[in-house]
Chain A
Amino acid sequence: MAGFKEIVERLTDIVGREFIKTRPEEIRGYAVDEMIPEAVIFPGNTKEVSGVVKLASRENLAIVPRGSGTKMCLGNPPKRLDLVVCVSRMNHMIDVDTSNLTITVEAGVKFRDIQARLATQEDRCYLPLDDLTTVADEVICSDRSHSGCFLPMDPSHANEATIGGIIAANSSGPRRLLYRLPRDSILGVRMVAPTGEILGSGGKTVKNVSGYDVSKLAVGSMGSLGILCEMTFKLLPLPEKMETLLISFGSFSDTSDFVEGLFETTLLPASVDVMNRRAYSHLRMDGIPDFGQGGYVSAIALEGFEPAVERIRNEISHMAKANGARSVAGIHEEKHPLFWLAISDLEQDLAGKAPGHIRARINYPISEWRGVIESAEIAFSGADLDYTIQTHAGSGICLANLLVDKEDSEGMDRAVITLNSLLGHCLRVGGNLVVERAPAGVKERLKVWGEAGSDFVVMKRVKDQIDPAGVMSPGRFIGGL
Chain B
Amino acid sequence: MKKQELIDSLKEIVGKENVLSSDMDLALYSYDASLAKGMPDVVVMPASTGEVSKIMSLVHREKIPILGRGSGTNLTGGSIPARGGIVVHFSRMNHILEIDIPNRTVTVEPGVITLDLQTEVLKKGFVYQPDPASQKVSTIGGNVSENSGGPHCLKYGVTSNHVQGLELVLNDGTVIRTGGKSWDNPGYDIKGLFVGCEGTLGLVTKAVLKLERAPEAVKTMLAIYETIEDGANTVSAIIAEGIVPATLEMMDNRVMRAVEETIKVGYPLDAAAVLIIELDGMPEGMAENAEKIMEICKENNVREVRLAKDEAERAILWAGRKGAFGAVGQVRPSYLCCDGTVPRTKLPEVLAKVIEIGERYDLPIGNVFHAGDGNLHPLIMFDERDPDEKERVLKAGTEILKACADAGGTISGEHGVGLEKLRETSFVFCENDLEFERRIKKAFDPDDIINPGKMIPEPVCVQ
Contacts and interface: CB of A to CB of B under 8 A. Distances in A.
Given A304-B285, A453-B176, 16 more contacts: A98-B240, A102-B343, A203-B409, A205-B342, A206-B158, A207-B413, A209-B198, A209-B417, A210-B421, A219-B189, A238-B242, A307-B288, A366-B102, A455-B176, A455-B177, A458-B178
Contacts of A430: 180-182
A308 B157 contact: no
B329 to A, nearest CB: 23
Contacts of A464: 443
B236 A147 contact: no
Contacts of B247: none
Interface residues of B, number: 91
A229 to B, nearest CB: 13
B189 to A, nearest CB: 5
Interface string A201-218: 101111111111110110
B174 A99 contact: no
Contact of B183 (A145, A148, A199, A363): A363
A367 interface: yes
Interface string A467-481: 000000000011100
Contact of B375 (A205, A220, A267, A453): A205
Nearest to B190: A455
Interface stretch (A36-44, A177-185, A335-343): A177-185
A216 B196 CA distance: 11
A21 to B, nearest CB: 30
A201 B345 contact: no
Interface residues of A, number: 87
B206 interface: no
Interface of B: 100, 102-105, 146-147, 149, 153-154, 157-158, 160-161, 168, 170, 174-178, 180-190, 192-193, 195-198, 213, 216, 236, 239-244, 281-282, 284-285, 288-289, 341-345, 370, 373-375, 408-417, 421, 425, 428-430, 432-437, 439-444, 455-456
Interface in A435-481: 449-450, 452-459, 461-466, 477-479
A479 B195 CA distance: 24
Contacts of B186: 220, 432, 434, 449-450, 452, 478
**Which of B102, B242, B344 is the most central at the interface, judged by chain A CB atoms within 10 Å of its CB?**
B242
The 6 A-B residue pairs whose C-beta atoms are closest, nearest first, are A216-B192, A305-B285, A237-B242, A207-B413, A367-B102, A307-B284
Contacts of B157: 180, 184, 206
Interface string A87-101: 000000000011111
A217 B153 contact: no
Contacts of B417: 209-211
Nearest to A237: B242
A367 B103 contact: yes
A217 B192 CA distance: 7
Contacts of B102: 366-367
A363 B181 CA distance: 10
B200 to A, nearest CB: 9
Interface in A300-356: 304-308, 310-311
Contacts of B197: 212-213
A27 B243 CA distance: 48
A67 interface: no
Nearest to A461: B443
Contacts of A205: 341-343, 373-375, 409-410, 413
Given A209-B147, A209-B412, A430-B181, A310 B187 contact: no
B236 A207 contact: no
A209 B444 contact: no
A35 interface: no
A209 B414 contact: yes
A479 B186 CA distance: 10
Contacts of A395: 183
B425 A210 contact: yes
A154 to B, nearest CB: 14
A204 B409 contact: yes
Contacts of A477: 187
A308 B285 contact: yes
Nearest to B215: A266
Contact of B410 (A208, A214, A306, A454): A208
Contacts of B177: 453-455
